[in-house]
Amino acid sequence: MATTEKKWQNELVAYTLLVLGSALFAVGDVMFVNPYLMAPGGTYGLSNVFNTLWPWKISYYAICMDVPLLIIGTLILGPKFGFKTILSTILIFFFTWVLESVWGYNPLIHEGSIMAAADGTQTLVPIPHDGGFFRPDYFLNTMVAGLIYGIAIGMIFRSGATSGGSDIISMILHKYTKISLGTLVMIVDSCITLTTLIAFGDIRLPIYSIIIIVIEGKVIDLVVDGMKSYKTMFIVTDHPDEIRQYVVDELQRGATCLTGTGMYQGAERKMVYITLERSDMVKLRSALHHIDPEAFVNIMNSAEILGKGFKQLPKD
């Protein structure tokens, strides 16, 4: 009974994240990205360009691309796209449609609009809700847009859904070209950002769009993996017992001791393999100066740690 209740709680949290993430994505696109004519990748980035060139709702353009891509992706790649990904596609479409129908395409961040007086002077006034010319604040808008996009997509990822959209194009190209998926995603998104330069002739637009993508990627990592930073240490030492004692007693962590052979002298050496949070890594590194000043230490960043004492292994 307790297991079933826990499962339902996890599902409730997942679908809450999915709904909130989809709504937040729509906010970022309609209120921050579209008014500044930017296209930070994805089908919605391309839809922003189409919406400006040929006025039609962003949501309509996006759904006309997302649905065929999901169908084509399923036919070519197999049933990789679960219910949550399909639901995310529908929810983002719905929230975007509601926002652009109610709010329009007015920017939330700006320095006001320009109103010409009878004597020819110009006065800075707040931008009206029904739109109009405005003085943009590209830098602040880009920072906020990247933050909102990152939080939104991070929440969607944490819910168990995938982004779908233009990423499906990258997955299909990956299947036939064997180029890494990360590289293909960058290529596809970069091509989409460049459409703003072609369409509007402003070099700032693709540059700001790329900045959004960079910020978005960093924020997604924080939302999905959390604030904790892990380090993996490989310690070649002649004093493994002393290191073990410090790790177990002082840090209250575990480690693995491996046996290896030095290539230079052919002598047998012990190597301690351990993964720690950054703060504990600093403590152990300082302690090694006293435990074994001759130790050889290799410290690496760890993108993700799964298993006992860290994040649970995924069930699916």
Q: Where are the domains of the chain?
A: 2-107+137-225, 230-302
Phi, psi for 310 (deg, rounded to 5): -130, -140
Phi-psi region of 160 (alpha: psi -120 to 50; beta: other; left: phi over 0): left
Locus of tokens 């596809």: 188
- What does the pLDDT read at residue 126? 47
- What does the pLDDT read at residue 207? 93
- What does the pLDDT read at residue 49? 92
- What does the pLDDT read at residue 130? 45
- What does the pLDDT read at residue 312? 65
Q: Tens digit of pLDDT for each residue in 259-306?
A: 888 777 777 888 899 888 877 888 888 888 889 888 888 988 876 666
Report d(CA 113, CA 126) in Å as an integer.
6
- What does the pLDDT read at residue 133? 64
- Going by the DSSP 8-state scheme, the letter that residue 132 receives in this structure is -
Give the length of the chain: 316
Report d(CA 72, CA 235) in Å as an integer.
49
Report d(CA 190, CA 273) in Å as an integer.
39
- What does the pLDDT read at residue 128? 47
Q: Quick check: helix, strand or coil at residue 196? A: helix
- What does the pLDDT read at residue 1? 52
Strands 113-116 and 256-261: unpaired
- What does the pLDDT read at residue 228? 66
Question: pTM for the whole thing?
Answer: 0.74
Residue 301 · residue 245 · CB < 8 Å = no
Report d(CA 107, CA 29) in Å as an integer.
10
At CA 42, angle to CA 40 and CA 43, rounded to 5? Answer: 125
Residue 189 · residue 165 · CB < 8 Å = no
Q: Which residues of the chain have pLDDT under 70?
A: 1-3, 80, 113-133, 163, 181-182, 225, 227-228, 303-316
- What does the pLDDT read at residue 145? 95
Report d(CA 312, CA 307) in Å as an integer.
5
Report d(CA 97, CA 80) in Å as an integer.
27
Which of 235, 230, 241 is CA-nearest to residue 301? Answer: 230
Phi, psi for 299 (deg, rounded to 5): -115, 130
Architecture of domain 230-302: 2-Layer Sandwich (3.30)
Q: Quote the tokens at residue 247.
A: 């790790």
- Spell out the residues 6+ positions from residue 38 whose beta carbon is closer than 8 angstroms to its own: 45, 48, 142, 145, 193, 196, 205, 208, 209, 212
Report CA Rg, the chain. Answer: 26
Q: Quote the tokens at residue 73.
A: 């992706």
CA dihedral 181→183→186→190, nearest 10 degrees, is -130
